[in-house]
Chain A
Amino acid sequence: MPLVLVGINHESAPVEVREKLAIGEHALPRTLLALSGLGPVLEGAILSTCNRTEIYAVLDPESGATEEILAEFLAGQHGLSRHQFDGRLYFYRDGAAANHLFSVAAGVDSMILGEPDIQRQVKQAMEAAQGAKTLGTLLNRLFQDALVAGKRARTETEIARGAFSIGAAAVERAAQIFGDSLEGNTVLVLGAGKMSEVTARHLQAKGAPTVLVANRTYERAEHLAAQFGGHARRFDELESALLSADIVVCSTSAPHPVVTRTLIKNAMRARHNRPLFLIDIAVPRDVEASVGDLDNVYLYNIDDLMQIVAGARQTRSGEVAQARDIIDAMATEYGRWRQSLEVAPTIVAVRDKLAAVRAAELARLRTRLPGLSDKEWRSVEAAMESLTNKIAHPAIVAIKSSATETGDSAALETIRQVFGLEREDDDQLPATAVPAANTRRAPDA
């Protein structure tokens, strides 16, 4: 069964394109159900972060569907045409898809090399798919292995050491506006997401004494504000909160900008043009892009901060190579497991066939040799079983061996012919019907 992946990420598209295909936390269960409702989709999972939206699916080989169906689904979910994203989407298949997810989990595919947050996001994507019951055997193992690959890459290599985070980049910029110490500056956290919390913690560590938190859910705002020793604000108090804030960290899950040019323009007048630093790490963006054109307003979105991070990223090719070795080994192991899973029905069929032959021969012998004692009969049965096992053994070894050789189904077919296995078994043997593509197409043309 083909494992396919369609995605868009920070490398293939800027945030203004990426945000159009973002799938928020709240929309995820509904989207997963819609995905599983597609006829050819047997399993599905969605990974949507500020840097990427990716759909992983196992397709029914009989349907003849390709990854295009996922591209159309992804665009369709946002009421858009798939062709609006020509050249922006990437497509991976089978081994390449597995390798990609393992790289993502390990932080190798991230702009912030080895960033820790992606591991949690991969786990969340897996749990969401489990919750929506769209995760089957293949994707479950894929995501489990991805988490192991991520953990191994971080513990067995130095990839995560010295990672220059979004929070650190935000602090660096804030220092250029307000000074090295942010004492006397107020931070406003808009939306109580994990990323905004981490960024605000960086700013608070530089001395920002007051933290205000505004969130649609007031209780969540209170909870987060208590963690910072700050104050909670209701979302409709945003205008007044902007008067006292110097740095605003935005990461709501709102589908449209909540911080408009008019809002900031009015706020700047009321705050006597004191500089305002807006950090918009939400996807879709929370702040209208034109806000950045206002005097004394400095607006940085997720891509801007990522660029800074990439610029500061040290060349750590050695660590990347080591992490890639782990990823490649695990992806190969996953591929083997998949193929062994796919040849399992043939092994069962061979055993069943020999067991049937043995049973038939034993039945025939019973009528021909009625004088055998029970002890003698058990010896005959044992001998027959030993015989069939010895016949089956090299065949099973050959079947398993064929599973390790990508695309080599000749041995499997020969064995099936030798043992006279029925073609209807093929319904249970999708691997033989699927071209063993280990292909990658990214981005699409």
Chain B
Amino acid sequence: MPIQIIVQKCTGCTLCVKVCPFDAIRIMDAPRLIGSAGVPPSAAKKAVIDFNKCTLCGACVDACKFKAVLLDKTTPAAGKIDISGYKGVWVFAEQKKGKVQSVVYELLGKARDLARDLSTDVSAVLIGDRLEEEIQELIWRGADKVYVVEKRELANFLDEPYTNILVELIKKYKPEVVLCGATSLGRSLISRVAIKIYCGLTADCTGLDIDKEKKLLLQTRPAFGGNIMATIISPNYRPQMATVRHKVFPESTSDMKRKGKVIRENFEGAAIQSRTKLLDIIDEIESTVNLSEADIIVSGGRGMGGPENFKMLEVLAQVLGGAVGSSRAAVDSGWMPYSHQVGQTGRTVSPKIYIACGISGQIQHLVGMQSAKIIIAINKDPDAPIFKVATYGIVGDLFKIIPALTKQFKEILKK
């Protein structure tokens, strides 16, 4: 194994045991050392790694004050790929029905920061059909170049042709960073692209920065439902690819003075063939606002008492221009459709404001919404775990508080 404990340096202090996210380290007696000259009995306790659990994450290496954990991260790939030829930051410009998705503008803003630190430029890749206006908007929002592939057959997303095209463009133009929205479309596409190219891909980054010395993309993401954060790099492979969820970064503003270059690429034949055929696209009318894109979400749980009471949340959401979410309990009771479920088995959201009504706040729900900027919790149980994450907590009868809130918001928003 590329990781080992240097027994001579290990003091058995347990620091590594405490930081190991995988419970892979135990302190055990090292019988051979007991009684050795100069080794006090207390020092005979040593860290032992369980290789079946260890994922080589390196948390223990950083934690050890005695430099007793050795992790060899040199891989055979080092130097295999000439990374110096890769330049530029790319954003995959996801479009649906000819409309570029808002997450793309959020990524363009971040891409500009990264490009500045890398002294390079920003490009958007737009695949679809009849996208003239969108090309202009991408430039206004921060793209120095827009690679455009337009074809009737490409109007709607399909895994295979979109993968083929993105792979070919990456091979041809060699960007050093590729960013993509962590949407259902983006995740399906970019995972496939990363395999075909053989490069690193980090999902759901909440932080993207540049190590200015090494010119590396530092990708920070939550794991274990946000209980730990990991910073990930991909030093020996290019491009360095990352997905980012909606609302993690602010949208870049549109500057109509910005100029950019449009590069059109044409693909024919096998590259645009799809074995999978799209037969129909059905938009569910009841979800008027896309939950992942909503700035404000009003969510209801078991405390709502029944499906009829969700009307109250809809009214409040409407006043606020937000969407209605739901806990798993309310979905399982048949009060709300699954598409509204927030949490581990539903959607992960990070709106500006999340209003949790009658939701107790089980960990599975919290992992889906705790990155919201402001959390407001209304619950009759003062001990409900939701209050532990709430920015503002209200203990009381939601059937009285929600109408009062709706009235107040209406007044201030003059609706």
A binds B: no
